[in-house]
Amino acid sequence: MGQAILVVGGGMSGVSAALEAAEAGYNVVLVEKNPYLGGRVAQLHQYFPKLCPPYCGLEINFKRIKNNPRIQVLTMAEVTGIEGAPGAYKVAVKQAPRYVNDKCTACGLCGQAVEATVSNPFNYGLDQIKAAYLPHEMAFPYRFVIDPSIAGGPEGEKAKAACPYGAVDLEDQGAELTVEAGAVIWAAGWTPYDASKVEYYNFGASPNLITNVQMERLAAKGGPTSGKIQRPGDGKEPKKVAFIQCAGSRDVNHLPFCSTICCLASLKQATYVRAQLPEAEVTIYFIDIRAMDRNEDFYTKVKADEKVKFVKSKIGLIQPNEAGNLVLEGENTASGERFKAEHDLVVLATGMQPNTALNKIPAEVAYDEYGFVQAAEGIIGAGTVRRPSEVHVSVQDGTAAALKAIQLVAGR
């Protein structure tokens, strides 16, 4: 039926766009850079405000993809060029080698055979993973990946020798293909703002100074600590946890816009800490708490916990001390008091930078000065490349993008 719709990005908005278009009867090619679908939400422990696991919804979506022959999924793939006009695009897609073909049963023998490890991108570098690995426990496609660093060497050969199914293909060169599509939905998502750019927070100076995305992995069952919230520095349970809001957002020197989700993310992560560590105290340092619309209920709920404190202050300096703790300096703008506060685990609420600010779409597309995609015909932005947004808004946006694409390809 008609021309295909190309969806770039297999995160929440991309998957939503692909499925909603396919379930309305249109053919979809879904291109994802990672070896798995799910994007950033796959790396979350829980969603706010329900504190439910993202995999619940992803499982349904993956099942919808499995059951829908209209969707073709290309992982480890990136769009390198777009030619043509609305209604008739030729899109060049480059697929990186996975070194594992579809004979893989995810039995795990290659991972056992290989000794080399690589930093685990899924856990934001908090741990190491074998260089032949399943990206994470719920990965879809459920297939191993061999890190390019070992593909050409003896470790790669070990993986190959260990596989009884002939699934390891060290000769894999990847692929370059051309997709013909009537419309392109660009749902390339976001990247956490590089915390080290906010130099006065000294990110990197202490293992106990982490970002909010890392905190998700610390709390997640599949994370580096199997879900135990502990100080990466010494494995101890934190007793005084701080969340630093607007660590880069609402700052003309960094991200001039509000990243929209960080307040709620920190409120949510405060509940992770409080649920696991009844003795722990949490302090949230903020400028404004932005718990929009019905998320206010969640803020109200967290505020009711007397061990969660809110201090109106943008933190001006973070420095590690000899005890391995972190000393925060700020001005409490409600009292005027300038303070130093010691915390044993500090979480930077870094914001979302649209991936289109870092990598532009290879076509004529308008952006605002922050790099967010503006409305256009033919190449349609969806999700966090259009504005920072929470999950349900990304779904909504993905669905809307699907219809805009359908309007272009319907009847062609």
Partner 1 sequence: MDYLLYPGCSLEGGGSHYLVSVEAVFKALGVKLTEIKDWNCCGASIHYVGGSELQTKALNARNLALAQQQGGQDIIAPCSSCYIQMIKTAHEFEEDPKLAAQLNQILAEAGLSYTGGVKVRHVLDVLFHDVGLERIRQAVKHPLTGLKVAAYYGCQTTRPYGEYDSVEAPRTMDQLLEALGAEVVPFDKGVKCCGSGIFFTEMETCARLVGDILGAAQAGGAQLISTACPMCQMNLEIYQSRVNKILHTEYDMPIVFITQLMALAFGCKYGKEAALDRNIVSPKSVLQAFAA
Partner 2 sequence: MASKAYDKSFREEVYENVDSGEEIKLCMQCGVCGITCPLRDEMTYGPRQIWSLIRAGKREEVMNCSDIMLCTSCYACKVRCPRGVKVIDVMHGLARYALRQGIVPRKETSKFGKVFWDCIAKTGRIDETDVPMRYTMTAGPIHGIFNALEMMDIGRALLSHKRMKFKVAPGVPPAKKIKGIRGLKKMLKKAAAMSPGKES
Partner 3 sequence: MAKKYACYLCKGCGIGEALDFDNLQEVASESGMGEAKAHEALCSPEGLALIKADVDGGANALLIGACSARVKTDEFTFGKEVLVERASLREQTVYCTEAGEEAAADRQMLAADYLRISATKLQKMELPVPFQLEQPAEKAILVVGGGVAGLNAALAAAKAGAKVYLVEKEDALGGFLGKMAKLGPQSPPYQELQDTGLEDLVGQVQGNGNIEVFIGNTVAKTEGAPGNFTVSLSGGQSLRAGAVIQATGWTPYPPEKLADELAYGSSPNIITNVQMEERAKAGDLGGLNAVAFIQCAGSRDANHLPYCSAVCCLVSLKQAMYVKQANPEAAVYVIYKDIRTPGQSEEVYRQAQREGVIFIRRGEEYPKISDHGGKFTVETADVTLNDTVAIEELDLVVLATGMKPNNPKVVEPPLVALGMDQEEAKRLTAEAKAQSDDWSVLNLAYRQGKNLPTLKYAYPDSHFICFPYETRRTGIYAAGTVRRPMRVTQAIEDATGAALKAIQATTAAAAGFAVHPRSGDESFPEFFMQRCTQCKRCTEECPFGAINEDEKANPLPNPTRCRRCGVCMGACPERIISFKNYSVDMIGAMIKSIEVPEEDEEKPRVIVLACENDALPAIDMAAKAGAKWSPFIRFLPLRCLGSVNLVWIADALSSGIDGILLFGCKRGDDYQCHFIKGSELANVRMSKISETLDRLVLESDRVRVEEIGFGEVDKIPGIIAEFMETIESVGPNPYKGF
Contacts (CB under 8 A) with partner 2, residues 282-301: 287
Buried-exposed string 211-238: b where 16+ CB fall within 10 A, e elsewhere: bbbbbbbbbbebbbbeeebbbbbeeeeb
Cβ–Cβ under 8 Å, residues 4 and 29: yes
**Single-letter code of the amino acid located at 77:** A
Beta bridge partners of 283: 242, 309
Which does residue 329 touch among partner 3, partner 1, partner 2, none (CB within 5 to 8 A, set by kind)?
Answer: partner 2
Pick 165 or 200: Cβ nearer partner 1:
200
Compute the distance between CA of residue 346 and CA of residue 326 in angstroms, rounded to an integer. Answer: 7
* Binds partner 3 by CB under 8 A, chosen from 100, 198, 282, 291: 291
Compute the distance between CA of residue 216 and CA of residue 265 in angstroms, rounded to an integer. Answer: 9
Q: Phi, psi (5° rounding) for residue 266?
A: -70, -40
Tell me the closest approach of the beta carbon of residue 335 to partner 2, in angstroms.
Answer: 10
Tell me the closest approach of the beta carbon of residue 356 to partner 3, in angstroms.
Answer: 13
> Which SS3 state, helix, strand or coil, does residue 274 take?
helix
**Single-letter code of the amino acid located at 347:** V
Q: What value, to the nearest 5°, has the Cα angle with vertex 66 and ends 389 and 78? A: 55
For partner 3 (CB under 8 A), the number of binding residues is 85
Q: Read off the tokens for 18.
A: 């692909």
Tell me the closest approach of the beta carbon of residue 256 to partner 2, in angstroms.
Answer: 9
Pick 200 or 339: Cβ nearer partner 1:
200
Q: Read off the tokens for 135.
A: 């990206």
> Greatest CA span in the chain, whole angstroms?
68
Pick 240 or 314: Cβ nearer partner 2:
314
Q: Within 83-122, which residues bind partner 3 (CB under 8 A)?
A: 102-103, 105-107
The sign of the dihedral angle between the CA atoms of 94, 95, 97, 102 is negative
* Binds partner 3 by CB under 8 A, chosen from 88, 116, 376, 410: 410
* Contact status: 412 vs partner 3 (CB under 8 A): no
Compute the distance between CA of residue 40 and CA of residue 12 in angstroms, rounded to an integer. Answer: 8
* Binds partner 3 by CB under 8 A, chosen from 357, 372, 378, 379: 372
Which residues make Cβ contacts (< 8 Å) with residue 43, sequence separation at least 6? 122, 124, 213, 216, 217, 220
Going by their DSSP bridges, the two strands 326-331 and 315-320 should be labelled as antiparallel
* Binds partner 2 by CB under 8 A, chosen from 130, 160, 231, 250: 250
* Binds partner 3 by CB under 8 A, chosen from 122, 257, 272, 285: 257
* Contact status: 47 vs partner 3 (CB under 8 A): yes
* Contact status: 200 vs partner 2 (CB under 8 A): yes
Tell me the closest approach of the beta carbon of residue 20 to partner 1, in angstroms.
Answer: 45
* Contact status: 251 vs partner 2 (CB under 8 A): yes
Q: Within 153-182, which residues bind partner 2 (CB under 8 A)?
A: none
* Binds partner 3 by CB under 8 A, chosen from 58, 79, 187, 247: 58
Scanning 66-74, 164-172, 324-332, 403-411 for contacts with partner 2 by CB under 8 A, the matching segment is: 324-332
Q: Which of 334, 250, 214 has the alpha carbon at shortest distance from 206?
A: 214
Binding mask 189-228 for partner 1 (x = CB under 8 A): ----------xx----------------------------
* Binds partner 2 by CB under 8 A, chosen from 336, 364, 369, 411: 336
Cβ–Cβ under 8 Å, residues 352 and 384: yes
Binding mask 278-317 for partner 1 (x = CB under 8 A): ----------------------------------------
Tell me the H-state helices in 277-338: 296-303
Cβ–Cβ under 8 Å, residues 341 and 332: no
Which does residue 331 touch among partner 1, partner 2, partner 3, none (CB within 5 to 8 A, set by kind)?
Answer: partner 2
Scanning 26-34, 133-141, 151-159, 311-319 for contacts with partner 2 by CB under 8 A, the matching segment is: 311-319
Q: Which residue has the tokens 């061999």?
A: 146
* Contact status: 339 vs partner 1 (CB under 8 A): no
Cβ–Cβ under 8 Å, residues 187 and 13: yes
Tell me the closest approach of the beta carbon of residue 227 to partner 3, in angstroms.
Answer: 7
Pick 288 or 305: Cβ nearer partner 2:
288
Q: Which of 343, 258, 226, 264 has the alpha carbon at shortest distance from 47?
A: 264
Give the interface with partner 2 as residue ranges (CB under 8 A).
Answer: 200, 246, 250-254, 287, 312-317, 329-333, 336, 338
